[in-house]
A = this chain, B = another copy of it.
Amino acid sequence: MARAVAGPEIERLVQLLARVPGLGPRSARRAALQLIKKRESLMAPLAGAMEEVLGKIETCPVCGNLDVRSPCLVCSDPTRDPTLIIVVADVSDLWALERSGAMNARYHVLGGTLSPLDGIGPDDLNIASLIGRVRAGDGGVVGEVLLALPATVDGQTTAHFVTELLRETGVKVTRLAHGVPVGGELDYLDEGTLSAAIRARTTL
């Protein structure tokens, strides 16, 4: 039987923090207390940063990325290769690919994957705008569309669907390689990944 030790404002802060991914009910309580203790050095700047993002955040009308400017920082970067569009399901995938630093391309965020069970059809995703970008050339000539979609059933269904639609544009469509994750133990890998890695083996 826990009773309130502080006003409802603090309880509300704890409850909202508990909904942040990575924090649970218990760590939200610890986080709230630390935020209160460091209210000048952490909570005030954090609240300010949230307010600033809240006032400015927009979905990029070109690619679907989330940013405080429109078009987003990626789309408005003139140094990026305009001939390659990397298609991702979610903004988090865009961020992850950028962290890898492997490509200096532009992106297109579908906003999910086709999922008949969840009632997500082609019209719920930014597929039409992708076809439009490829057709219009997107400020140049798009030579390749790399489908960086999840290696799940829904992700692969989406990849097939998008590939079919892109066929008429004549653009080259590619997908990410399957294989052993770098640093991964073979022992822990599923058969599908191992089979794919064997089929796609490379000569040393």
Query: B33 contacts A91, CB within 8 Å?
Result: yes
Is A191 an interface position by the 8 A CB rule?
Answer: no
Is A182 an interface position by the 8 A CB rule?
Answer: no
Query: B7 contacts A73, CB within 8 Å?
Result: yes
Closest CB of chain B to A42's CB: distance in Å? 6
- Identify whether the interface residues of A are mostly helix, strand, loop, or mixed: helix
A residues lining the B interface (CB < 8 Å)? 1-7, 9-10, 12-13, 16-17, 19-23, 27-31, 33-37, 39, 42-47, 49-54, 56-57, 65-69, 72-74, 91-92, 94-95, 98-101
Distance A101 CA – B37 CA, assembled complex (angstroms):
24
Query: B10 contacts A67, CB within 8 Å?
Result: yes
A73/B5 contact (C-beta < 8 A), A44-B54, A47-B51 known: yes
Which residues of B are found within 8 Å of A94, using beta-carbon distances?
5
A95/B29 contact (C-beta < 8 A), A5-B73, A6-B73 known: yes
